[in-house]
Amino acid sequence: QVQLVESGGGLVQFGGSLRLSCAASGFTLDYYAIGWFRQAPGKEREGVACISASNGGTNYADSVKGRFTISRDNAKKTVYLQMNSLKPEDTAVYYCAAESNRAPPLIACHVGMDYWGKGTLVTVSS
């Protein structure tokens, strides 16, 4: 049974940091591209970061470049999203998603990915 469980969300002040974790089970993480997405109230879900299965290449939304870092530990079956210099506009529910593909990170992650977690809430106060 494929399962993705996010953790690490919470309330943080403007300029603070959080590290989100996405724990995978039921499949071999090595073969899967993993994406982090977020959805703010009243807005559509958007891609934040992607890490490919092929070579661990990464891609980021322009709004988070230089502030967020995605990484993976296949042995621990966990993908991380380190978020620094957080802003109120980063407030959202953050989801991780997985799909078995060998695509480059620019196209490996998308809102139609096969497996999704239930999300973790990140709130950034001003």
For 23-50, what is the HEC assignment?
EEECCCHHHCEEEEEEECCCCCCEEEEE
What average pLDDT does the segment 11-29 reach? 97
Confidence (pLDDT) at 123: 98
Confidence (pLDDT) at 6: 98
Confidence (pLDDT) at 55: 85
What average pLDDT does the segment 17-39 reach? 96
Distances (CA, A) of 83 to 2, 28, 65, 109: 26, 26, 10, 19
Q: Residue 54 pLDDT > 90, yes or no?
A: no
